[in-house]
Amino acid sequence: MELYRKNNLDCSKITTRNYSTSFSLGVRVLSPKYREGIYSIYGFVRYADEIVDTFFEQDQAAIFNEFRQETFKAIDRGFSINPILDSFQMAVRKYNIDRELVDAFLMSMEMDLTHDVYSPELLKTYIYGAAEVVGLMCLRVFYFNEPEKYDGLVIPARKLGEAFQKVNFLRDVQEDFNKKGRKYFKNIDFDHFTEETKKQLEAEIEKDFQESMEGIRQLKKQVRLGVYLAYTYYMHLLKEIKKARPEEILKKRYRLNNTKKSYLLVNAYVKNVLNLM
């Protein structure tokens, strides 16, 4: 069983590294005792997202329903033959991750199969499940036996997840709007996307980042650099998007190159050590 568990955790780790070099770097600078839980969470959310965003030739609704059922079976049994789900259930049980968070996440992922246009109210629900609860799952790993500290960091953790998701919306407009027909911002006409509208969105995201920073400063030393690094990557991604004209973000997906990521890693490390955040 020990080898089986190790193999499944390795699958989550490999999944994280294959899908996101940025997130992987953030996990690697966490204290080792927190890494397995975060890898397990990322592997799970990555697979759920893959079902709704990739397998268009399949019956996605049926596959997702199976995935949902197998997720909760794994949690109940404390075991799954699916290595990603087995790894995730270990994290859920070890760190007492609330099932409401798991259910909210799955509900948001499923919404991408049933909704093309999101009202402001629906978007708020979507962002909570798709991003904010993922931050709360990670926060539970960091503070699973410190409930008061966890509770004190819930709001900034949610704000950080919200900021990340909104940056993703702008980064992925070309794919989501032009190719998948998804319109997360109902009141924004991306066929006539203006500079004024773009600036309003960017200001909203910056406010979320500002509110999240208060929580990042309070994080324990063993995890603060990893979270701050993710914050730094997304802040600079937002800066790149801000430089672009409205019509440009509809034509490409913005990324940070490896040289930029390496520079930001060193810069984040220095600021974290010197408490200059």
Whether the Cβ atoms of residue 30 and residue 226 lie closer than 8 Å to each other: yes
Check whether 225 has a pLDDT greater than 80.
yes
Q: 226-249: buried (b, 16+ CB within 10 Å) or exposed (e) per residue?
A: bbbbbbbbbbbbbeebeeeebeeb
- Whether the pLDDT of residue 263 is over 70: the answer is yes
pLDDT of 34-74, one tens digit each?
999 999 999 999 999 999 999 999 999 999 999 999 999 99
Phi, psi angle pair for 20, to nearest 5°:
-150, 100
Report the mean per-residue pLDDT for the chain.
94
In angstroms, the CA 63 to CA 60 distance is: 5
pLDDT one-digit tens code per residue, 71-110:
999 999 999 999 999 999 999 999 999 999 999 999 999 9
Annotated domain spans of the chain: 2-273
3-state SS, residue 120: helix
- Give the percent of the chain with pLDDT over 90: 81
Q: Return the number of other C-beta atoms located less than 10 Å from residue 192's C-beta.
A: 9
pLDDT the model gives residue 253:
87
pLDDT value at position 178?
67
The pLDDT of residue 192: 77
pLDDT for 149-186, tens place per residue? 999 999 999 999 999 999 999 898 877 776 777 878 76
Q: Helix or strand or coil: residue 187?
A: coil
What span, in angstroms and rounded, lies between the C-alpha atoms of 160 and 206?
A: 10
CATH ID of 2-273, from 1.10.3730.10, 1.10.760.10, 3.40.50.300, 1.10.600.10: 1.10.600.10
pLDDT (average), residues 3-31? 95
User: How much is the average pLDDT of 192-206?
Assistant: 91
Contacts of residue 203, Cβ cutoff 8 Å, sequence gap at least 6: none
Residue 249 has pLDDT above 90, yes or no: no
Instruction: Tell me which range, 31-45, 115-129, 174-188, 247-261, is most confidently predicted by mean pLDDT.
Output: 31-45
Question: What was the pLDDT predicted at 184?
Answer: 84
